Amino acid sequence: MLLAVDIGNTNITLGVYDEQVLLFTGRLATDSKTTADQYAIDLKNILELHGYGHKDIEDCIIASVVPTVATALRQAVSFLCDIVPLELGPGVKTGLNIKIDNPAQLGADLVAGAVGAINEYTLPCIVIDMGTATTISVIDENATYRGGVIAAGVRLTLKALTENTAALPSVSISAPKSVIGTNTVDSMQSGLVFGAAAMLDGLISQISDELGCFPTVVATGGLSREIVTHCKHDVIYDENLLLEGLREIYERNK
């Protein structure tokens, strides 16, 4: 079985595959203070929770935007499963043609998401990933990564509001009854949810104009499900897009 690991700034998403079948997913907190031993214990517990043992894991692929955590997790997997994980980076075959100013700057998470989209959806395609940051990747009809957009994530926006104002409270990231809020909480939720959806709609329209066509739009990431349902454009929600991309990259390199 294959263990696919996506290390984001806030969460670590795990997926265990039997060939092309995703058996289960799990999540851990991204914490640079967590040791390799602790991550090994966490991985062992998650596997056992789903009825599997660490000896069932035959290989592993890791994508990370947090190098210190990637090091700890790589050591944890090596110790627990007695394997050397494949880490997405220079020299790894992805099949993705990257046409940006400096291809080496493209984050591993964006590469995995793009590969997942190319493998699963009709091109051209826009991939939205809503996590700590909101990222938008643009893949053209030739499976070329053209570039994208990076904006502050919804939780980051909420944190900025609550920490830099005296009177605004922390609120749940959920849609209020209407765009026009009649109290502070509803007004903040409107700005967070409907504001993020409106930003996505505007960017999708402008990207479509630049491409000269309307692409497939796919969203992933922890907050996407709540936000994209309020977009005017048709957006496909794919919770496991990055894991699927990692599985595909593993297949190309094994």
d(CA 236, CA 244): 15
Catalytic annotation present for 201: no
CA distance 224 to 135: 11
Three-state helix/strand/coil letters over 21-88: EEEEEEEEECCCCCCHHHHHHHHHHHHHHCCCCHHHCCEEEEEECCHHHHHHHHHHHHHHHCCCCEEC
Q: Which residue in the list 109, 129, 140, 186 is annotated as catalytic? A: 109
Residues 215 and 213: their CA atoms lie apart, in Å, by 6
Give me the active site residues, please: 109
